[in-house]
Structure 1
Amino acid sequence: MSFQTVFQRYELKYLLTQEQKKKILQAMAPYMELDQYGRTTIRNLYFDTGNYRLARHSIEKPSYKEKLRMRSYSQADPESPVFVELKKKYRNVVYKRRIALPEKEAMEWLQGGSCSQDVQISREVDYFLSYYRNLAPVVFLSYEREAFFSEERIYKTSFSKYGTAYQSMIYPGLVQPVYYAKATEPGTVREAVCYG
């Protein structure tokens, strides 16, 4: 299976009620269809420095920010494919680059090993790791997502529902109250509209 490895898009995010989501789904039904993952559980493992440099910078709402994560679209075992992703945002444009690897290899790489694939994105991740030094997994975040694409594959709409599968691996409460508290209130759905 081939995977898209480079993304550039605008993201607009909204909190919706279930009723609002239902109306949007009805309105977009003639124009959008489920993407290859359809309805799935997304699992993210975010990496940061010991003093949370990346999270603290992001909270300041700068014009440029970046993060490193490992993402899977299903329960991963050591041989399952996962994505190592660099996500950068500059002036409301999101740039995402990723590489697919078996979970075991990805974890070994991100914790000081090397990547078996010598490609541009692996070199970018290596630079990121050396620049920020001593990155470690700090937050696990899991949520349900429904993703839709337009026929032309230009527009993407995704609905994400955040539950309780959030865990700070080092300091409980660092990120959750800032980013996810509103999205976990009963009856809300977080919806992101992404334009290619």
Structure 2
Amino acid sequence: MSKVFHSDGTLRSRFECKYVVEPSELPALREFFSTFMEQDENTSNRPLSATGGRAYTVSSLYLDSPRLALYQDTVDGAKNRFKLRLRTYDDAPESPVFCEVKKRMDGVIYKRRAPVSRTAVAAFLDGEQYALERESDTVDAAEFSMLTRRLIARPTLRVHYQREAWESRGADPVRVTFDTELRYADSPNGELSCEDGDWRQTYLTNPILEIKFTNTFPGWLGNLARRFGLVRRSVAKYVICVNAARRTEIGALRYRAS
């Protein structure tokens, strides 16, 4: 059965802080967040995972230019940059694919996404330039389509992980996620499956903690960092996976970024 994935309250415009934590710290981190947050509705009904939490699958097919310009912008730390991805949460034929544009502008994250059918995505990747706009009459779908055409962007690889999500509602919503089991698969033909593929692990096996908020810096974040010795860092999953793919020289990626 397909499941509708609801948007979080910080989706369209937010700040993000990322950390790499030890697996052994997850129980204490969950206890810390559980005092003022709840697991989101996409997570709360899931069975317990190997890490002791409840998580759902996230699989993203990234699109990039022939020379991986979007990857390179992230590596170079470009002040204004974006990513293009097609996100899925399961392989049910009726489940939507989310066309996402994730932008970083002056340190603020702007995320736009539109749900479309797998049929429309397949047609779009097969060269029907306006297949997404025909199905989804939204600014978000149009922007994704326009940026893809402008870059001559094509599928590169899929990024796959398990996500445990917590959130607090209110005037200044906060969302916390733990991402584990980061893997990737070469996908030059636009494969969308969450499960099928030659999945490979990256060098990063530790959980990734992300804290996302809209306006006000969470007052508890300083205490959290001191208690667990957290150091904020750049953790770009797409970059990590492309680097891993280039080291192993899989698929078309060996010929791309210079």
The yes-or-no answer on 1:85 pairing with 2:90 is no
Q: 2:155 aligns with which of 104, 115, 137?
A: 137
Q: 2:40 aligns with which of 35, 41, 44?
A: 35
Contact kept in structure 2, 1:31 and 1:151, CA below 8 Å: no
Name stretches of at least 5 consecutive residues in structure 2 with no aligned partner. 44-54, 189-200, 215-258
Q: Secondary structure at the match of 2:166?
A: strand
- The whole-number CA distance in structure 2 between the counterparts of 1:64 and 1:76 is 35
Tell me whether 29-38 or 138-147 shows the greater mean CA deviation: 29-38
- Give the number of the structure whose residues are more often strand, by fraction: 1
- The whole-number CA distance in structure 2 between the counterparts of 1:169 and 1:59 is 21
Q: Secondary structure at the match of 2:21?
A: strand
Q: How many residues align?
A: 181
Code of the residue aligned with 1:16 in structure 2: it is: V
- The whole-number CA distance in structure 2 between the counterparts of 1:109 and 1:145 is 28
**Cα offset, 1:37, TM superposition:** 1.4
Counterpart in 1 of 2:143?
Answer: 124
Q: Identical aligned pairs, as a percentage?
A: 24
The two structures, once aligned, show a CA RMSD in angstroms of 2.1
**Normalization by structure 1: what TM-score?**
0.83
**Cα offset, 1:89, TM superposition:** 0.7
The yes-or-no answer on 1:4 pairing with 2:19 is no
**Normalization by structure 2: what TM-score?**
0.64
**Cα offset, 1:183, TM superposition:** 2.5
Counterpart in 1 of 2:85?
Answer: 69
Q: 1:47 aligns with which of 47, 63, 70?
A: 63
**Cα offset, 1:118, TM superposition:** 2.1
**Cα offset, 1:41, TM superposition:** 0.7
Counterpart in 2 of 1:109?
Answer: 124
Contact kept in structure 2, 1:33 and 1:151, CA below 8 Å: no
- The whole-number CA distance in structure 2 between the counterparts of 1:3 and 1:20 is 28
- Please tell me whether Structure 1 or Structure 2 has the larger radius of gyration of its CA atoms: 2
Alignment CA distance shift 1:140-1:151 (3 Å): same
Q: Secondary structure at the match of 2:39?
A: strand
